[in-house]
Amino acid sequence: MSCTKYYKKEAKDMARLNIVLYEPEIPANTGNIGRTCVATGTRLHLIEPLGFRLGEKELKRAGMDYWKDLDVTTYVNYEEFLEKNPGAKIYMATTKGPRTYTDAVYEEDCYIMFGKESAGIPEEILLENQETAIRIPMIGNIRSLNLGNSVAIVLYEALRQHNFDHMQLEGHLTKYEWR
């Protein structure tokens, strides 16, 4: 079996980042993450099994009309993901991480993996990648943040480290001009 590439949009001469979702379960989260990836020029990688079908209306609704512009690849399992992305630098975003996400220095074309909503990334994978395991600080006994929020937090830190390369840095009013 091989990975399925749904859309490939070429972006030359820019730092590209990769978000990896390990067995995502909730279509609305994946749709929102897909929209974030389109807005930032980030590739999305989905490791099966998925807790939904890619055509589900919740997925499309959350990603709105941006889903058609998403650079997304699916893999039948984690082993196929590793096989198709040899030598990839992978950061493991987990509540179990020993370092915070701001301690990492995100290289161009690195991968940031997030686990499924109910269980995260399996501990055997984390143990194999402990030097790149990162976490978002939280207080108390909160299990975790929402997956879409977690992706946005870590992704925007990685983008910040690359000076938001090729992103629009200022907004414009529609009826007025800034003074």
Give per-residue pLDDT as tens, 57-93: 666 665 557 778 899 999 999 999 999 999 999 999 9
The answer as to whether 151 is a domain residue is: yes
Question: Any known ligand binding at 112?
Answer: no
- Position 12 scores a pLDDT of 47
How high is the pLDDT of residue 76?
97
Residue-wise pLDDT for 102-122, tens only, equals 999 999 999 999 999 999 999
pLDDT at 7: 39
CATH number for the domain spanning 146: value is 3.40.1280.10
Note the pLDDT of residue 66.
77
pTM of the model: 0.88
**The pLDDT of residue 8 is above 50:** no
Q: Taking a C-beta distance cutoff of 8 angstroms, is the pair 92, 133 a contact?
A: yes
What number is the average pLDDT over the span 11-31?
83
Domain containing residue 27: 4-161
136 annotated ligand-binding residue: yes
The structure tokens 């979702």 sit at: 21
List the one residue out of 121, 155, 59, 133 whose CA is nearest residue 89.
133
Q: Is residue 17 part of a domain?
A: yes
Q: Note whether residue 42 is domain-resident.
A: yes
115 is in an annotated binding site: yes
Quote the number of domains for the chain: 1
